Every structure is written in structure tokens, then in C-alpha cells.
Amino acid sequence: MFMRETRPRRASSAGARGRRGQRRGRTAAVAAAVAVAAGAVLVTPAPAARAAVSLEKAGDFGPNPGALNMYVYRPAGLPRNAAVVVALHGCTQSAQVYADNSGLSTFADRYHFLLVFPETTPANNGNRCFNFFEPGDNRRGQGEAASIRQMVAAVAAGYGTDPARVYVTGLSAGGAMTAVLLAAYPDVFRAGAVVAGIPYDCAGTVAAAYTCMNPGVDRTPAVWADSVRNAHPGYGGPWPRVAVWHGDRDTTVVPANADELRDQWTAVHGLGQVPDRTSTIGPDGTRREQYLAADGSVAVEVDRVPSIGHGTPVDPGTGPQQCGATGTAHFIRSVCSSYWITGFFGLDGSGPGAGDLPAPGGLSLTGATDTSLTLAWNGVGGAASYAVYRDGVRIATPGGPPFTDTGLSPGSTHTYSVAARDGAGAEGARSAGISASTTGVSPRCWTADNYQQVRAGRATTDGGHAYAKGSHQDMGLYNTFTTHTLKESPAGYFVLADGACP
């Protein structure tokens, strides 16, 4: 197979070797700066974990202007037309370290998708950071971004993977490069998950990268979105779905970057910055904020992990929602982020299939209680069953209507859609979404000035500003002249809801 390398990899061209030689000298002089700017805490390589994941190293995978290494993890029983997840390591790390500790291979084995691990080298960056801040590496058709795009093309040719189901995730500098790829190649990557990263086009130099990481750069959603649109002029969508993961005690890449990433990608999708739904997930109560597209699917989500610093959240163990390993720098015991990211990508079976059945019509709400909603729809000829989606996530596959969704919260609102499934389980098109609410008490709202919100315990203060308790959304100056509405959902978790609270 072409993916196995039996000789040392050569540079892609003499020109690339020359450019990399010049860069080696430049990055050596600022190695520590690059490491901090890209999210590294250490300036020496992290100790390698015991190699538990068997990777194949690619030889000549095609044009490689970024002079990257390429590794692949192929689970047993990989089918034709499998999905692909590109996984980008953080500074001081390697492809092997990221494969061994992130937990992604657990779900590649479980759900049969291919993993691609690009790897940078000290020749590119003295601390093994992806050069997300280098204009020669973070633009479409150039440098490292172009090399990673070529890796996707190579596995499509070599393994027969599905070009329509390609995803990307990464930590720190790898998270920042994830944002680069989503912006530069929205026609290639269907969705991405940025872990402890920064918005696209925040930095074009090492000095600017310092500022982006800490204290962060505040731009309007429209300005951030224009940066994405300008990365591939003329592209009209669809835009990739984006998940943002960030520890709320990260002092290397401050949590404000999660808000700026949210602003960037909600604006790209034409959405507001107030979440449509909030919840908690995982054993540590990670706070999830979701922003819904018109069809009820999640276009953007932000997952704020409590009480952790800079790193990939993992939860070692053998439970269905556990994964990863600790003991290596920047893998932190909390929640298995790879489990939830796999679900966000729709690779856990919650995504739609590729069947030919038409969308069911007539989806309607026929009953509601405090904790349940009952739906009905018109049957589809040839359907063996149906897939019911709540808020963009498949929750059941009943044989037909009606269907009752139980275990909901009183006063909660959800968006539903339905797809027909053939005898092989392939799903057709989804129906138009409908919004439905349970009975009972709606989420509570309070309108008051920032001083009163803080005194009531619904907000906190830091540096002269007030922040909503739970969501940490910036409410502006801590004074009696600035007024906002806060919505509590779930209990103890507050979000800005100016003009959007019942």
C-alpha cells in the first residue's frame, strides 16, 4: 500500500528545502516565543507515552509544500467510503503522542473511520508547532495548509474514503490550524473541532500570536466572519460546522478565544451570538452552548470545560464515554472530548445516511406534557423505519409515527426533524424542522443593571467587567448604567438573553 514508507521522506522540492532552511534559522531564534504563542507550556519535547496506537507513515503522498510528515491510523474492518478525521497535535507533541493520548483511535475502532495525523518537525518550527501564524502556511494552496489538504486527497485515492465526509480537530497550535483549514478549505472539511485554539486570521506574526493567545483579540463577529469569507473568495457555502472546546482556567490560550471563535463562526453561518440551547455534559459538568441552523442542526457549539488549564480533555477508562490517557503534558483528566467530538461530527451513527428516500411530510406536534412531546408525520413509501432528530441529534429510530420523546425538562423548547430509513438503515433527506415546547415552568429571566446582577449572584466581576455566571459571557462594565437580561437554564447557569427571553 502506498501509505507505508520504506525510505526517508524527501523534501517536496528544492524551493521548499530552501524556504524551510530559511525558516529554520528564523524559528530557532524565536523558538520559545513561538511555543508560547502557539499554546505550548514547555520548551522541550514532552515525554513520549508508550506507543499504543499503530500508525502507518506515508511516503510520497503528493505535493507537500509545507514539508510535513503524514501518519494514518486504519482501524480493522475499515469500509469503502469511510469518513476521515484529520487530527493535529499541539506544540512539543508528535503524531504518535497525540494518537496515543487523545482517545480518537478508540472511536475510530468503534465507528470505523480513518484517522490522519499530520506532523510538523523542528525544521518547520523549533517547538514542533504548526505555523498557524505564518502567512505562507495558513492560506489556501500554500504551505502546511496545502500539505494537509493533499493528505486528504491521498487517502481518498489510496483507501477509497468518502470525500464528502472529512473532518478536522486539533489542540492548541493544532486547534489554530484547524481553524485555518476550515476557513481555507470549507469545500473539503465538513466540520471541525478547535481545542484550546484561536480564531482564523487572528495573527500573522509571532508578536501578534502572543496577543491572540493572551489576553486575546476582541473583534466584532462581522469582522471575524469576513476573515473566513476572504480565505476562499467566491465560496458561497455550505460552511463547516464548528465545535469549540476550551478549559475555563487556561492561562496559555485564554478562554476569551472561545468567545471570539464563537463570534466568528456563528456570524459565518448567519446566526446570533446568544445560544439557542445550553446544557451540561460529561462527568465534570462541561457547559455546552449550541447555536442552531434553520433545520434544527447544530451549526456551532462551545464546550467550556470547568477547572482545567491548557490541554486536551480526556477521561481514561473503558466506559462508553471514556477515552484517552494522562501522564503526558497537555492531556488533562476531565471529560472525554473525543467522544463528544465524534458525536458532533455525526460519526457515532447519529448523522444522516446516504439513502434515496424522500423527506417525510406533515411533521407536527400532537401532544405535550411537562416532560414529553409526541410527534406525528406522514409515512414514506419504502421506509422500513424512521430517524427522529432532536436539536440536530438522532435520538430514536421508531418503526413509524407517532413517536413520544420523554425525559425532557419542563418549559423546554426543542427542534425536531425526521428522516425515512430503508431496509439497510440508510437515511434519506430530513424533513423540515418544527419547534415544540413542553408544558410547565419556562426558564427564569431577570432584567437588571450589572451591579444588581452581580449582587444577586447571577454574575461575577473581573477587571471592571461583569460576566454571566456559568456562561462567562461578557456583560460590559460593572456599574449601574449597563442593563442586561439573563436567562437561567439549567439551574445556576446564566446566559445573556436581551430581547430573547420569554
* CA–CA dist 496, 275 (Å, integer): 9
Determine the pLDDT at residue 45.
38
Q: How much is the pLDDT for 442?
A: 64
172 in active site: yes
List the domains of the chain with CATH numbers. Answer: 14-344 (3.40.50.1820), 364-437 (2.60.40.10), 444-496 (no CATH)
Q: Rounded mean pLDDT of the chain?
A: 86
DSSP 61-125: -S--TT--EEEEE--TTPPTT--EEEEE--TT--HHHHHHHH-HHHHHHHHT-EEEEEE--TTT-
Distance CA 190, CA 167 (A): 6
Exposure of 213 in the CB half-sphere (CA atoms within 13 A): 28
Provide the pLDDT for residue 390.
83
Distance of CA 326 to the CA centre of its chain: 21
DSSP H or E segment with residue 459:
strand 459-462
Q: What is the pTM of this model?
A: 0.69
pLDDT for the residue numbered 48: 42
Q: Which among 442, 296, 444 has a CA at the least distance from the CA of 370? A: 442
Residue type present at position 171: L
Given 102, 105, 147, 172, the catalytic residue: 172
Report the SS3 class of residue 472.
coil
**Is residue 174 helix, strand or coil?**
helix
Secondary structure (H, E, C), 204-234: CCHHHHHHHHCCCCCCCHHHHHHHHHHHCCC
Q: Is 150 helix (H, G, I), strand (E, B) or coil?
A: helix
Give the pLDDT of residue 463: 79
pLDDT in tens, 425-471: 778 878 888 888 888 766 688 899 999 998 888 988 887 899 998 88
Residue-level pLDDT at 265: 98
Phi, psi of 273 (to 5 degrees): -105, 5
What local confidence, expressed as pLDDT, does residue 40 receive?
37
Residue 75 cell numbers, joined: 482501524
For residue 150 the three cell numbers come to 493533499
pLDDT of residue 349: 66
Sign of CA dihedral 216, 218, 221, 225: negative
Query: Within the chain, which residues score under 50 in pLDDT?
Result: 1-22, 24-50, 352
